[in-house]
Each structure stands twice: as structure tokens, then as C-alpha cells.
Amino acid sequence: MERNLRKERIGVVVSTKMEKTIVVAVARKVKHPIYGKFVNKTTKFAAECLDATIHEGDTVRIMETRPLSKTKRWRLVEIIERAK
């Protein structure tokens, strides 16, 4: 039996205050339906993170997973770039 491909997102860590959980903000550009201007939209994802070395401002890759709690449906895959 083959598993479906899981979604991956790249975003910036905005909160590390919870235990074993980080909040990742993923930004995307959306074209305004009337004016045609591109607008930045941000979505926040709660992700499972067992790595204690993550800090706010780090750029990370997260992957979709089974529900881990009420709000967590993502987990950390890798740290792409550390915060300066």
C-alpha cells in the first residue's frame, strides 16, 4: 500500500513558547480579485518540534502529518536557515 504525498511548506518560526511545539508563519502572494495587486497573506501552522535548538526567526520546512493534538497537524522536517 502506497502512502499519498504529504504537503510541505517553508516558513519562519514566530513562537517557541510551547513545549515540543513551534508556530510557523508561511507567507504567500495572492492577486487581489479586483485591483490586480499582489498582497502578502500569512498562515500560521502549529508544528511538532522535538528539537530544542529552534529559535524565533529561523526558516524551517514543515510537513503535513496525522493529527497530533487539537491544533497540530504538521511536523518539523529541517532547519533551512538560522536567525541572524
Q: What is the pLDDT of residue 2?
A: 80
Which pLDDT belongs to residue 45?
A: 98
Sketch out the chain's domains with CATH numbers. Answer: 8-81 (2.40.50.140)
Q: How many residues does the chain have?
A: 84
pLDDT digits (tens, 9 = 90+) for 2-44: 878 999 999 999 999 999 999 999 999 999 999 999 999 999 9
pLDDT tens by residue, 58-73: 999 999 999 999 999 9
Q: What are the two backbone dihedrals, phi and then psi, of residue 81, each rounded to the nearest 5 degrees? A: -145, 135
Residue 55 predicted with pLDDT over 80: yes
The model scores a pTM over 0.85: yes
Nearest-CA neighbor of 62 among 7, 4, 5, 3?
Answer: 7
